[in-house]
Amino acid sequence: MGEDDLAAAKREIREETGILDFQPIPGFRAISRYRFLRDGRPIDKEVVYFLARVPGEGVRISAEHSAAGWFSPEEAERALTYEQGRRILAGAEDYLTAGRSGGSQEQSSHKKEEEKAMEKFGFIDRALTELHEKGLYNTIRTIESPVEGWVKIEGKRVLNLCSNNYLGFANDPRLAEAAKRAIDEYGVGPGAVRSIAGTMSLHLELEEKLAHFKGTEAALSVQSGLNTNLAVIPLLMGKEDVIFTDELNHASIIDGVRLTKAQRVIYPHCDVDGLAKALEEHKDIEKKLIVTDGVFSMDGDLAPLPGIVELAEEYGAIVMVDDAHGEGVLGSHGRGIVDHFGLHDRVDIECGTMSKAFGVMGGYIAGPAKVIEYLRQRARPFLFSSAATPADVAACIAAVDILEKTDEPVRKLWENAEYFKSSLQELGFDTGHSETPITPVMLGEAKTAWDFSKRLFEEGVFATAIAFPTVPRGKARIRVMLSAAHTRDDLDFAIDAFAKVGRELGVIGR
């Protein structure tokens, strides 16, 4: 290490770590500058300097202070976990500080306690390292602006093709104004669970409007879409019962089913014949539940709801649909998949989220009044967790009111979806079998998808790669989520970026 490098390292070490001085050790050289992760996020200001042997192209982190192993220099930054980085930094202090002693007894004791705590959670270090090694570690980008057609990420303005903000309501001034008024009138929080401290009139107003919007007798609002499935399924189904669930149902449905002691039958994806066979095999069980996503979020395909309903009526089964990606998208004025197929009064329970097309936060369950009342009395997410905030509820009410009055946002969403899909198909991209604005751009291998997403971001387009285990191996894709917030110019910008990157990576012809 040259004198200039040494001086620069000393200066930055003093600024970033408080280490006053260090001396190079023969056989080692300083490796810098690597960030490490805290809570999955890179920390730019916490720079790790350490001394490491450099055999060939690999970097060996000092074995006394890290189990991180071998990394190429370019891999080290993304591979180091927070705890590994801390151990490296601790080792760097020992190596780099000239004449450093073992420290005070108090410091030594504290260090031992830290090491013991790290050993206790060593399994987490191993799990995180494995995620890195398999290319499955999810680095979450930080958004520095409202969620709209364009967003600011790490100082860069990019076109947002990742959001579920289907109708552009997430930063709609009408929703924002409703939220502000609610804070002025009701404050910022509900105070406690509704079953103990009472319910705000806002929550009742939202539930009444949701029931009318969905065409059901009643509705119940809860904290999230995930909580709807955790509320309904374990309450309705017991150990003597059987649940039929599509193999590609959302994780929240899977978790809801697991919380019951009921028998579980997983039928092939959207396979009505397979479901019929399963129902026939279990026809003697009195209580049966068929639960399905309305729109499947990875491929954008629809559940064969008419066929499912016919089978349910034949075998006396309850039908429950999670319409998280259908509301605000399908049906008249975005009323959802039940309205889309004209199945009102034939689907027993609808549930969904207020965080996608409605642009806010929360979940709802809609169905017969007796079911909703039973949920009020016994559903654990309702009984043991506080309700949504007044601001969230008021914004949700505003979103429902807008859709009751106009279907313009829904029509704009579909215009954008049809234009974008047809344009990509003309370029030679495979956009799967989606029947909704969810547009999977099929790429096959995970590495291709990750490389494609990275290049798109460099071109100013934020579109996430989806790979195993979220989708099957060999089915990696860029999942494009279109919005009514996008203009035609926005879509043309995205199409040009897809064309450029697709040709560079050999996905489409030149």
- Measured on CA atoms in the order 98, 102, 107, 111, is the torsion positive or negative? positive
Q: Which pair of structure tokens corresponds to residue 346?
A: 């034939």
- Measured on CA atoms in the order 70, 76, 82, 86, is the torsion positive or negative? positive
Give strand pairing partners of 288. Answer: 242
Tokens 């006394």 locate to: 64
Give strand pairing partners of 177. Answer: none
Which residue is catalytic, options 65, 356, 475, 486?
Answer: 356
**Bridge-based pairing state of the strands 37-38 and 41-42:** antiparallel
DSSP state of 147: S
Q: What whole-number distance in Å separates Cα of residue 48 and Cα of residue 493?
A: 39
**Bridge-based pairing state of the strands 461-462 and 438-444:** unpaired
Q: Which pair of structure tokens corresponds to residue 99?
A: 């004449």
**Bridge-based pairing state of the strands 318-322 and 349-353:** parallel
DSSP letters, 38-70, are: ETTEE-TT--EEEEEB--TT-EE--TTT----E
The side-by-side arrangement of strands in the sheet containing 318-322 is: 218-222, 363-367, 349-353, 318-322, 288-293, 242-246, 263-267
* 318 sits in which H/E element: strand 318-322
Q: What whole-number distance in Å separates Cα of residue 236 and Cα of residue 250?
A: 19
Cis peptide, bond prior to residue 42, ω within 30 of zero: no
Nearest CA among 362, 333, 323, 344 for reference residue 207: 362
Between the alpha carbon of residue 135 and those of residues 139, 172, 446, 448, the distances in Å are: 11, 37, 9, 12
Q: What whole-number distance in Å separates Cα of residue 85 and Cα of residue 17?
A: 13
Residue 217 contacts residue 211 (beta carbons within 8 Å): yes
Which residue is catalytic, options 203, 214, 288, 325?
Answer: 325
Is 224 one of the annotated active-site residues of the chain?
Answer: no
Residue 382 zone, left/alpha/beta (φ > 0; ψ -120 to 50; rest) = alpha
Q: What whole-number distance in Å separates Cα of residue 452 and Cα of residue 507?
A: 9
Is 356 one of the annotated active-site residues of the chain?
Answer: yes
Please, is 90 exposed, middle or buried when counting C-beta atoms within 10 Å of its C-beta (0-12, 13-18, 19+)? middle
Q: What whole-number distance in Å separates Cα of residue 494 and Cα of residue 497?
A: 5
Is 282 one of the annotated active-site residues of the chain?
Answer: no
Which residue is catalytic, options 252, 297, 423, 483?
Answer: 297
The angle, 0 to 180 degrees and rounded to 10, between the axes of the packed helices 3-17 and 82-96 is 120
Identity of residue 71: F
Query: What contacts 231, CB < 8 A, 6 or more positions away?
Result: 220, 222, 365, 375, 379, 380, 381, 382
- List residues with catalytic annotation: 297, 325, 356
